[in-house]
Structure 1
Amino acid sequence: MKRLTHRFSCIAVIMMMSIALVHAQDADAFHETGRSFMRQGDFPSALQAFDKALELKPDDIDILKDKAFVFYLQRDFANTIDLCKKITARQDADAQSFQILGLAYKAIAETKESEKMYKQALTRFPKSGALNCDYGEFLSSTNPAEGIKYWERGIEADPNYSGNYYFATKYYAQKGNIIWGLLYGEIFVNIESLSKRTEEIKNILYGGYKKLFDDISILDNSKQSTSTFEKQVAINLGNLTSFGRYDVSPEMLTALRTRFILNWYNNEDSKKINFHLFEYQRDLLREGYFDAYNQWLIGPLTDSQRYTQWVQQHGDDVKGFQQYQRNQLFKMPVGQYYRH
């Protein structure tokens, strides 16, 4: 009798597990359907699918976050805020939950609650590149000097989140800090290489190099920097005496930056400093794609007709660089942040 009872108990457990598994699979199917509707811009259908999923998995945080984001996309900010407050109160809430709440607060210009929320979020997720970026943007509307602190923290903690480089590049370009405007800008376009923001930052890079070509003394402050890295970059750039004698072009950029990379890795002081952007440029040189890279970087901005001709004449180089760019994804390692 005991054996029979035990057998029935086992069967019941297996049946319950099977039912739970089916429900989980159904919930996942409804969730994915909702995401598909969301990508298509059919927000009412997305919400219906998410609600179906939540009937089966009512506490699933990923489904709840997606539902909150659809509310935001529909400009239903009251429901976004209400749902996100419930999500962020949970122990398993992630940084993205706070991001969505921040977007809703921004949409209704709720500064007091935004301030409170970002401080709470960064207490829980101090190394979130996205939250540091968003809070920096929030602060920069009234005090850019406060905003840059959080963009720098984001870069240090999460070096492959592109948003912090985007805002930091614009900040340093406006402040005339040529070194960090150029470095952060080039890192940004390599991490986020296909967006509207990419073209914006390429324009800033081109403008930065024009300033450098016009007046090499713009490096003087950086040569006195307490940051060993910044000082070495400024000194190595300053030693390239061709600056100021020619206009900015991809060809001149290739020539000068080739010399910079060779000097950097032949100098006992600078070659000890690891910096992936310079390593990437050296690899491009070795592979024979550095010219194509510099054309990609500023070619269309200097002379669009000349760039088009160059592309037509160097089709193999362009294809080779594009393939290299796809295969060698640019990633900044943790630990290569240099204070300044």
Structure 2
Amino acid sequence: MYPSNYYRVSNLYLKSNNKLPGLIYGEIFVNLERTTKRTQEMSEKLYQTYKDAIDIKDEKSNTISLCKVISVDVNSINKNKVPFCIMFEASMMLSTLGQKEFTFESFAKIRSNFLKEYSARLKKDHPNVLLDYFRKMEDHQVFNAYNHYVFQIGDENAFTKWQESNQAEYQKFVEWYTADENDLKIDKTNLYIAE
């Protein structure tokens, strides 16, 4: 639960060729240490990393590049041994279908679609404390507002425009997010360790 550990390890991974752990650790950090200069810095880094990694060519042909190159022998692998990063990228790719470009607003939709993919296909074999937290937000109908909030420094103008047009939704999120019982809680049973 010590935010600085997540901040430091996120920055290391975000500078590597294996960015997914950096994105997960960075977003965990943002949820543990809220409204600080480091949180603002991380918000921008996370958004920019996703923006650089998600290449939307058209509504049906997109690429995602978050993971280091991994060689997998498909003849000797079973479903439970497929690395999380490969499964994450594939689910994120499916989540971009129908989007024409990467924007602040389309990214919120991509993440909502991704959460559905994760819940349906990955959760059982790849449990993840952050993604479980997303599910909790979705269950309380605040995940869309969270997706705008968490990346707000990545595109401040788009966030301000969205917030002004969705004040009631944003207020509902703020009330939920600031309640002590809704803090992200990490312990030995749900700790995320990068593969």
- Please report the TM-score for the alignment, with normalisation by the length of structure 2: 0.78
Which one has the largest radius of gyration? 1
Q: How does 1:117-156 map to 2 (within 5 A)?
A: none
Alignment of 1:204 onto 2:45: yes
Q: Aligned-pair distance for 1:205?
A: 0.3
Going from structure 1 to structure 2, the CA distance change for 1:300 and 1:201 (only over 3 Å counts) comes to closer
- Contact (CA 8 Å) 1:223, 1:230: kept in 2 or not? no
Asked whether 1:264 is paired with 2:105, we answer no
Q: Give yes or no for the alignment of 1:229 onto 2:81.
A: no
Structure 1 stretches of 4+ moved >4 Å:
222-227
Identity of aligned residues (%): 25
1:191: which partner in 2? 32
Contact 1:213 1:243 in 2 (8 A): no
Asked whether the equivalents of residues 23 and 46 of structure 2 are also in contact (C-alpha less than 8 Å), the reply is yes
Match of 1:290 in 2: 143
The answer to whether the Cα contact below 8 Å between 2:95 and 2:117 also exists between their aligned partners in 1 is no
Letter in 1 for 2:174: Q
CA 227–334 in structure 1, closer or farther in 2 if over 3 Å, else same: farther
Sort the Cα spacing of 1:202 and 1:222 in 2 relative to 1 into closer, same or farther, 3 A. farther
**Paired residue for 1:254?**
108
Structure 1 vs Structure 2 CA RMSD: 2.5
User: Which residue identity lines up with residue 236 of structure 1 in the other structure?
Assistant: S
Question: Which one scores higher on RCO, CA 8 angstroms, separation ≥ 6?
Answer: 2
Going from structure 1 to structure 2, the CA distance change for 1:275 and 1:193 (only over 3 Å counts) comes to same
User: Residue type matched to 1:195 in 2?
Assistant: T
Distance 2:99 2:18 in 1: 18
CA offset at residue 219 of structure 1? 3.9
Q: Unaligned regions of 5+ residues in structure 1, if any?
A: 1-159
Cα deviation, 1:240-284, whole Å, max 9, x if unaligned, reads: 3439841231x21221111111111211x5434321211111122
Asked if the contact 2:149/2:159 (under 8 Å) is kept, the reply is no
